[in-house]
């Protein structure tokens, strides 16, 4: 199996214009040709100028051939009419030259591409709305069904989800809450000190944290942490056909997979945001003491007077809605994943973006609806 160099030799027949025999020999493999192919291509290109009829290609000297070599040869042989070839390599050469003939439909510039894009986005949006509504309806139906038949209630999954989305999210959420409490208090203290309105810091931090920041922080972290996990889990289950397996066994995918996630986060998030409130207020108490000299006891005593308790309940209520929204959006995107990796990646990204957007939209709606309360 010694490698022989690939070569093209031109053997001119006697007499002007009598033509020539071209001897092609050696190893025509990718490895052997890697460096020599430009030189050989030049020789082959020169031959293109000669009348095809006058040339006789003798390929019997080829000692090895692979696809790359066959394609290089086939290109030079396009116009050739007389070819002698070892039958062993004939099939490969024929396939290569046929491969060269296949036209690949190039996606040219479509003048209507913009219109198509907009239309497609519109249709996509419509599908999202339709499927989202269907999922919501299905969840309500499932909820009715499981209340009639408690045996079907996915209690185990529910508690697992509360643990995963709630308890295990506490460290990171509380840390972020604490830091936000610190920053918020510090910045407001700087401003308030100038007007001598030191004690107002309790109002600002109290209302801000309990009514807005606590629930918002908790749900944004939940969207990044639990929401993405939910989408990825459902998406992978789609890729591995586990969703189909569940349906085939007569287990409702929405009741078993979506419902416990949605309920679980709706239950867990108020508790998480309660803990976030505490952490953020702790940060506030600390900074109020350090920058304004308000003692923790004074801070905590003034807090109930500064912040009506209804604000707390608004915060908790919003958390329930946010939890529901995050899990619902995550599951909606998870179930839409197609069985390929691209779609999975896109689904998770879109899910996180959409659920954070949904949370902020909902928050704005709550702010308008409840503007006269608290």
Partner 1 sequence: MSADANSQSDVETVVETVVEVQKLLNKIGEFVLHRELDFEVRAGEVMTLVGGSGSGKTQLVRVILGLKRPSAGLVRVFGVGWDDPSYARVRAARERMGMLFQNGALYSAFTVYQNVAFPLRERGGLDEEAIRAIVYAKLAQVELEPKHADLLPASLSGGMVKRVALARALALSPELLILDEPTAGLDPDRSDAFVRLIKRMRSEYRFAVLMVTHDLDTLHDLSDRVSVLADQHIIASGSIDEVRSVPHRFIENFFGGERGRRAFTAA
Which residues lie near partner 1 (CB under 8 A)? 1-3, 5, 29-32, 34-36, 39, 66-68, 70-72, 74-75, 88, 91-92, 95-100, 102, 104, 239, 338-342
Residue 59 · residue 84 · CB < 8 Å: yes
- Closest by CA to 173, choosing from 272, 100, 311, 65, is 272
Least distance CB 184 / partner 1 (angstroms): 43
Q: What number of CA atoms fall less than 13 Å from residue 276's CA on the CB side?
A: 34
Least distance CB 342 / partner 1 (angstroms): 4
Q: Which two tokens stand for residue 321?
A: 């809605």
C-alpha span between 331 and 337 (Å, rounded) = 10
Least distance CB 99 / partner 1 (angstroms): 4
User: Judged by CB, which is closer to partner 1: 68, or 370?
Assistant: 68
Residue 12 · residue 55 · CB < 8 Å: no
User: Judged by CB, which is closer to partner 1: 85, or 96?
Assistant: 96
C-alpha span between 25 and 41 (Å, rounded) = 14
Least distance CB 253 / partner 1 (angstroms): 19
Q: How many Cβ atoms from other residues are within 10 Å of residue 177's Cβ?
A: 28
Least distance CB 338 / partner 1 (angstroms): 7
C-alpha span between 44 and 46 (Å, rounded) = 5
User: Judged by CB, which is closer to partner 1: 5, or 349?
Assistant: 5
Residue 166 · residue 260 · CB < 8 Å: no
What separation in angstroms does the CA of 48 have from each of 17, 56, 333, 358? 15, 13, 58, 66
Chain centroid offset of residue 343 CA? 7
User: Judged by CB, which is closer to partner 1: 1, or 156?
Assistant: 1
User: Judged by CB, which is closer to partner 1: 68, or 303?
Assistant: 68
C-alpha span between 269 and 221 (Å, rounded) = 10
Least distance CB 6 / partner 1 (angstroms): 9
C-alpha span between 214 and 180 (Å, rounded) = 9
- Strand 20-28 with 82-84, pairing: unpaired
Name 61's bridge partners: 25
User: Judged by CB, which is closer to partner 1: 104, or 151?
Assistant: 104
User: Judged by CB, which is closer to partner 1: 19, or 339?
Assistant: 339
User: Judged by CB, which is closer to partner 1: 77, or 307?
Assistant: 77
User: Judged by CB, which is closer to partner 1: 29, or 311?
Assistant: 29
Least distance CB 264 / partner 1 (angstroms): 30
Least distance CB 237 / partner 1 (angstroms): 15
Least distance CB 34 / partner 1 (angstroms): 6
C-alpha span between 329 and 339 (Å, rounded) = 19
Residue 286 · residue 350 · CB < 8 Å: no
Residue 235 · residue 331 · CB < 8 Å: no
């Amino acid at each position: 199996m010694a490698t022989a160099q690939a070569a093209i030799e031109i053997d001119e027949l006697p007499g002007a214009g009598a033509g020539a025999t071209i001897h092609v020999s050696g190893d025509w493999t990718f490895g052997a040709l890697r460096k020599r192919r430009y030189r050989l291509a030049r020789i082959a290109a020169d031959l293109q100028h000669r009348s095809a009829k006058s040339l006789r290609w003798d390929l019997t000297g080829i000692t090895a051939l692979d696809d790359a070599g066959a394609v290089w040869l086939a290109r030079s042989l396009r116009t050739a009419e007389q070819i002698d070839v070892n039958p062993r390599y004939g099939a490969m050469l024929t396939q290569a030259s046929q491969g060269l003939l296949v036209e690949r439909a190039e996606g040219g510039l479509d003048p209507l591409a913009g219109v198509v894009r907009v239309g497609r986005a519109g249709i996509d949006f419509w599908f999202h709305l339709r499927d989202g509504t269907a999922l919501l309806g299905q969840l309500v139906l499932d909820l009715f069904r499981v209340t009639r038949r408690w045996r079907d209630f996915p209690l185990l999954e529910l508690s697992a989800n509360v643990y995963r989305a709630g308890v295990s999210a506490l460290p990171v959420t509380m840390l972020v809450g604490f830091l936000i409490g610190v920053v918020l208090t510090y910045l407001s203290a700087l401003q308030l000190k100038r007007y001598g309105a030191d004690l107002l810091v309790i109002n600002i931090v109290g209302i801000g944290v309990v009514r807005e920041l606590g629930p918002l922080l908790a749900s944004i972290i939940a969207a990044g942490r639990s929401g993405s996990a939910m989408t990825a889990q459902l998406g992978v289950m789609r890729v591995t056909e586990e969703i189909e397996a569940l349906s085939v066994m007569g287990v409702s995918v929405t009741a078993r997979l979506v419902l416990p996630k949605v309920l679980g986060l709706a239950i867990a998030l108020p508790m998480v945001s309660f803990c976030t409130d505490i952490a953020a207020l702790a940060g506030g108490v600390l900074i109020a003491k350090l920058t304004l000299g308000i003692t923790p006891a004074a801070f905590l005593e003034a807090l109930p007077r500064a912040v009506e308790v209804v604000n707390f309940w608004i915060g908790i209520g919003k958390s329930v809605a946010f939890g529901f929204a995050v899990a619902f959006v995550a599951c909606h995107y998870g179930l839409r994943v197609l069985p390929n990796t691209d779609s999975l990646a896109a689904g998770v990204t879109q899910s996180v973006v959409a659920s954070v957007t949904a949370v902020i939209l909902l928050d704005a709606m709550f702010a308008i609806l409840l503007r006269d309360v608290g």
